[in-house]
Chain A
Amino acid sequence: MRIAIASGKGGTGKTTVAVNLASLMSETNSGLYYVDCDVEEPNGHLFLNPEVTAKRPLFLPKPSINEELCDGCGECKVICQYNALALIGEKVLVFPELCHSCGGCTLACTRDAITEVPHEIGSIFEGKAGELMYAGGELKIGIPSAVPLIKEVKSMVPNMDDAILDAPAGTSCPVIETVRGADYVLLVTEPTPFGLNDLKIAVETVRLLGLPFGVVINRAGMRDEKTNGYCEEEGIKILSEIPNDRKAAEVYSRGQMLYTGIPGFRKYFKELFLKLTAEIESLTEKSTVI
């Protein structure tokens, strides 16, 4: 079972929910994976302190021009949709950061003047934190697209294994790549106008992708009831409400777990775990009937 944790707005507590839930679940589910798909700003390891057992770079093929064979016809530039190739006079310049490694230029070149060479875009990490398996990545600074690295990080989880996937902020390509193929999406929000606005965008996104989802309200009790009202109107299940508490912010700031670090907080994550399990079971039953 793959559960993705996303939010739309950043800083609502995605990583907090993901690491606390994953760690709590690993008490009874050994072999569970925590997968940090926020390869732009990975934070899960700061809380889980996994023992890293393997690290390797990820390379993508990028074009390299053989100037002796190139006649400057510009066909490669015409096909490139990402402006990664430029023609200066009769010389082709490559901007590898902009290249998406689609291979179009290599196919377009009529003189076999383009070969693809590996280019490092980031690193992949594997490890273990107690009973919890860890997989994550780190995008190299200056590389624009996180999507290929996220794909690779997700592929570290064996097919049949359960995983919690921690998504990056927003709703664009890296988030879509993270939640693709998930069995369930948890949307973490906070009861503020920003949180609600971005929750609505996130809800539209997961609905468009046809994924089942539920909501966790973090920092609940900030006197803004609109989020609860919205969920009720839309028929969206709220699986847990974690209260607003400066203590939680302090425990988080030190990189500690909320469910073990603050007396009384374990119940919020336990409740989330139980409701989530029930949700997923009911989905599985439905699909068996069909």
Chain B
Amino acid sequence: MKEIVVISGKGGTGKTSIVASLAALAEHAVLADCDVDAADLHLLLTPKIEQTEDFYGGRCYHIENENCAQCGFCEEVCRFDAVIEHNGYGDNHSFSIDPIACESCGVCYYFCPDSAIVMDKSRTGELFTSRMRYGPMVHARLGIAEENSGKLVALVRKRAREVADRDNAEYIIIDGPPGVGCPVISSITGADVVLIVTEPTISGLSDLKRVAELTGHFGIKTGVCINKSDLNLDVSQQISDYCSESDIAILGRIGYNEEFTGALVRGEIVLEIASEDLAAKINSLWENLNQLTPVN
């Protein structure tokens, strides 16, 4: 079984449209959407949800005022400025925890001399195991302004592997999040290959370099697809040069194409409505991606 993660660093390069098209081409694949705080793949693939699980990712804490001696130790030890002091009349003041600033480290909870801080475990997201027209799909929804997206990503990948084992699937194809931070790291660590979808803009190139450095850091075999490749031929060439210097294979080049946006606006998979030429390019991307072998 081969686990392929598609990322882009920069948003809006066409990553999700390409993932949906690859899902249509791959037989025996499990699809996973690891962009858990802005998941979009389900809009194209309209999966039928078969199982929903609650995700308890975050811990929050609150101060029980009747037990609190107002010593202020929690405020002193909190490094995230999440303990707020409320001044009342005279010496009468109280403390509360700002759930948005809180990073759930639990230091206040563990060290409160009066055990006045209570831990609440709350449901911060949902995990879905579904079926769409090309096979099984695992996706999730992180609650609004909730943290721990990296943990939810890890859970999506774990569930996708279980489904793949159960079905003897050949591939797991993962739609990854933007950036280079914790949800991306959680999406790619231990994966077989990474496909970076980039675009020939100076931002695209800059973001490609950083995300390729990240896959290099974790020693993951990486290939690149240049989408909108004729938008700027100079930058397109700079991407090719960078990739050859960095020993990264270019697996596909797809021209600037309004078919991508058109399909998106209608909620269609670009491969399903693509011209012969565009379909051939996506096909060859998939073929080349298959040739990419993981680092042992």
A194: interface (CB < 8 Å): yes
Q: Is the CB of A104 within 8 A of B144?
A: no
Q: What A residues does B179 contact at CB under 8 A?
A: 38, 40-41, 146, 168-170, 174
Residues of A within 8 A of B222 (CB): none
Chain B, residue nearest A79 (CB): B110
Kindly provide the distance from the CB of A35 to the nearest chain B CB, expressed in whole angstroms: 17
Name the distance in Å between A193's Cβ and chain B's nearest Cβ.
5
In this complex, how many residues of chain A approach chain B with their Cβ under 8 Å: the count is 61
- Does A288 sit within 8 A of B, measured CB to CB? no
CB-CB nearest in chain A for B110: A79
Q: Which of B10-18, B155-163, B282-290 contacts A (4 or more CB under 8 A)?
A: B10-18
Q: How far is the CA of A176 from the CA of B185 in the complex (A)?
A: 20
Give the complex CA separation of A253 and B77 in angstroms.
Answer: 47
Give the number of residue pairs across the A-B interface with Cβ within 8 Å.
184
Chain A, Cβ-Cβ closest to B39: A197
Chain A, Cβ-Cβ closest to B106 = A81
Q: Are B201 and A253 in contact (CB under 8 A)?
A: yes
Contacts A102-B103, A193-B264, A249-B231; A11 near B110 (Cβ below 8 A)? no
B57 to chain A, nearest CB (A): 11
The minimal Cβ–Cβ distance linking B273 to chain A, given in whole angstroms, is: 15
- Given known pairs A81-B104, A104-B110, the reply for A41 and B12 (CB within 8 Å) is no
CB distance from A36 to the nearest CB of B (A): 12
Contact status B11-A104, CB under 8 Å = no
Q: Say whether B231 contacts A142, CB under 8 Å.
A: no
CB distance from B248 to the nearest CB of A (A): 15
- Contact among A82, A194, A224 with B16 in the assembled complex (CB-CB below 8 Å): A194
A172 touches B43 (CB 8 A): no
How many positions in chain B have a CB within 8 Å of any CB in the partner chain? 64
User: Are B37's CB and A171's CB within 8 A?
Assistant: yes
Q: Find chain B residues with CB under 8 A from A79 CB.
A: 106-107, 110
B180 near A40: Cβ-Cβ < 8 Å: yes
Name the residue of chain B whose CB is nearest to the CB of A256: B202
A246 to B255, CA, bound (A): 13
Asked whether, in the complex, the Cβ of A222 is within 8 Å of the Cβ of B201, the reply is no
Q: Which of A25-33, A62-70, A200-208, A270-278 contacts B (4 or more CB under 8 A)?
A: A200-208
Q: Which residues of A contact B232 (CB under 8 A)?
A: 250, 253-254
**Cα(A11)–Cα(B11), bound, Å:** 4
Instruction: Mark contacts of B224-236 with chain A using CB atoms, 8 A cut-off: 1 yes-contact digit, 0 otherwise.
Output: 0000100110010
Indicate whether A290 reaches chain B with its CB closer than 8 angstroms. Answer: no
Q: List 5 A-B contacts (CB under 8 A).
A: A46-B202, A142-B218, A170-B149, A192-B265, A209-B100
Other than the known A10-B8, A81-B105, A102-B107, what 7 A-B pairs have Cβ atoms closer than 8 Å? Answer: A12-B11, A40-B181, A107-B111, A141-B217, A170-B178, A222-B261, A253-B231
**Top 10 closest pairs, chain A to chain B, by CB:** A11-B12, A10-B11, A102-B105, A11-B11, A144-B182, A40-B179, A253-B201, A253-B232, A43-B203, A10-B178
Chain A interface residues toward B at CB < 8 A? 8-12, 15, 38, 40-43, 46, 79, 81-82, 100-104, 107-108, 139, 141-147, 168-174, 176, 180, 190-194, 197-198, 201, 204-205, 208-209, 222-224, 246, 249-250, 252-255
The residues of B with any CB-CB pair to A shorter than 8 Å are: 8-13, 16, 35, 37-38, 40, 43, 59, 77, 79-80, 100-101, 103-107, 110-111, 142, 144-147, 149-150, 177-183, 185-186, 199-204, 206-207, 210-211, 213-214, 217-218, 228, 231-232, 235, 256, 261, 264-265, 267
